[in-house]
Amino acid sequence: MKPSIPDSKPARILSWMVAVILCLLPLHALLTTWAASNFGHPDVFRIWKEILIILSLPLVAWLIVKNPGLKKWLAKSWIVRLIVLYLLIQLAWGVWALKTNRVNDAALVYGLGINLRFFGFFIVCLVAGATAPMLARNWPKILLWPAALVVAFGLAQHFILPDNFLRHFGYGSNTIPAYQTVDANSHYVRVQSTLRGANPLGAYLILVIPALLLKLRKYLYLWLASLSAALVVLFYSYSRSALVGLALAIASFGWILIKRPTAKWITAGILSMLLISGLYLGFRSNQRIQDIFLHTSSSSTSAASSNEVRNAALKDSFRDVTRQPLGRGPGTAGPASLRNNHPARIAEDYYLQIAQEVGVIGLTIFLAILALTVRQLWLARHDMLPRLLLASLVGISFVNLVSHAWADDTLSLLWWGLAGIACAPAILKANKHKVNEKTQQKPA
């Protein structure tokens, strides 16, 4: 029997604030770009979610103060301790970078926001999930209903709408490109739906598709239609990293579900053989598949292929880390560095970006937070949400090796927000165990 979740009006308000953020995240790039094109001030519209998170902090603080068990768990949690340490390092390195003219104000603020917002939201969702039952009960709806809109719009984008349809919503050279192609080849226009681009869409679907496998399997026709639609959108995003990430996520999901070790290895062997055979047949005789996933098209008008650009970026960023193992400060690498008054440093690898900014020390702390979160989810793997998050994390972690996926606000806030909800039962179990101990110690 699961421990009951205490409920109060502040907890319900906090839960609804979290639910609004989670539901709007997949649509926010489209909505904020449209709003900025009509009313100006794009940065103001883009930080709506950060504003809501800040507004939720008084409620979070009140709930922690009023729940001694929650307060004690947070104080003892190594995840929380390392998040605080990571925050302090980001701030200290940021001040140092600003004082030494390595970063300007705009890039520093943007870099700190990108690096820290999802950890802050994780804590908010952890408190919300531990003090009200709404999020734990309704996370499938919160995740899948917005995903249905994303997938539907993605299908329309590929099969019905003109390539530049998003220009009606303010997309363009000064905001988000109205459409993307594979190596500037107009024959391969990439679906991006309501996300910031095709690769962020693909990474987002790594979380959504395993959720469809979980939640809709009882409704066969709806399950097949939804799953097929999501896979079609993923394919036409032409995101190679997302396709590999999804394969890793589904394999990990099967590994978690199958309990017998022998069955695990047999299943892994069969799936590996099928995957290798499919890749061999597909790449051997299909020029379209080669153009899309190997980026070898002879009709490309791009000066350099994306493969060459990515390889050069990885080499340069790795060289940066070896030369400056302590980093140069937040905002000096990754998407935030585009706002800096020094040349941008785009590593095409989120982990290298963190090392470029806060050094090997900062990267080690980040990976430790991730590892402890995985451990907490693994301990709760009998529940559906932790299973989904563990499986999707394997795929998302791969995507971060070849892109800045955690820098995308939709994916990072959504995954870490759900992780906070999934980790909340650990607090309830700790409190229930403590209550039982006190009861047993009372004299008869």
pLDDT in tens, 39-74: 988 888 999 999 999 999 999 999 999 999 899 999
Burial of 232 (0-12, 13-18, 19+ CB in 10 A): middle
Q: For residue range 107-127, what is the model confidence (pLDDT) as tens digits? A: 999 999 999 999 999 999 999
Question: Which of 149-158, 266-275, 330-339 has the least mean pLDDT?
Answer: 266-275
- Mean pLDDT (the chain, rounded): 87
- Which helix (H) or strand (E) segment holds residue 169: the answer is none
Determine contact, residues 430/73, Cβ cutoff 8 Å. yes
For residues 265 and 442, what is the distance between their CA atoms, to the nearest angstrom? 50
* Residue 199: per-residue pLDDT: 94
pLDDT above 90 covers a percentage of the chain that reads 67
Question: Which of 139-153, 197-211, 293-307 has the least mean pLDDT?
Answer: 293-307
Kindly tell me if the per-residue pLDDT of 434 is higher than 80. Answer: no
Question: Which of 14-23, 84-93, 174-183, 259-268 has the least mean pLDDT?
Answer: 259-268
At residue 182, φ and ψ (nearest 5 deg) are -85, 110
Other CB atoms within 10 A of residue 314 CB? 16
Q: For residue range 348-357, what is the model confidence (pLDDT) as tens digits? A: 899 999 999 9
Q: Which residues in 198-341 belong to E strands, given as ranges?
A: none
Question: Which of 127-141, 349-363, 389-403, 427-441 has the least mean pLDDT?
Answer: 427-441
What sign has the CA pseudo-torsion 347, 349, 352, 357?
positive
Length of the chain: 444
* Residue 437: per-residue pLDDT: 46
Other CB atoms within 10 A of residue 341 CB? 11
For residues 201 and 29, what is the distance between their CA atoms, to the nearest angstrom? 11
* Residue 435: per-residue pLDDT: 42
* Residue 3: per-residue pLDDT: 52
* Residue 217: per-residue pLDDT: 66
* Residue 305: per-residue pLDDT: 59
Q: How confident is residue 231, by pLDDT bands cut at 50, 70 and 90?
A: very high
DSSP code at position 182? E
Q: For residue range 274-296, what is the model confidence (pLDDT) as tens digits? A: 555 555 555 555 556 655 665 55
192-206: average pLDDT: 95
Kindly tell me if the per-residue pLDDT of 439 is higher than 50. Answer: no
User: Which residues, 6+ apart, have CB-to-CB distance to 207 below 8 Å?
Assistant: 143, 388, 392, 396, 411, 414, 415
pLDDT above 70 covers a percentage of the chain that reads 83
Q: How confident is residue 213, by pLDDT bands cut at 50, 70 and 90?
A: confident
For residues 295 and 129, what is the distance between their CA atoms, to the nearest angstrom? 44
Residue 97 tokens, joined = 């970078």
* Residue 260: per-residue pLDDT: 67
Q: How confident is residue 152, by pLDDT bands cut at 50, 70 and 90?
A: very high
DSSP code at position 3? P
For residues 270 and 100, what is the distance between their CA atoms, to the nearest angstrom? 56
CA distance between the termini of the chain: 26
Side chain identity at residue 104, one-letter code: N
* Residue 222: per-residue pLDDT: 80
Residue 349 tokens, joined = 């690898």
User: Which residues, 6+ apart, have CB-to-CB distance to 182 below 8 Å?
Assistant: 188, 190, 238, 291, 292, 295, 297, 300, 306
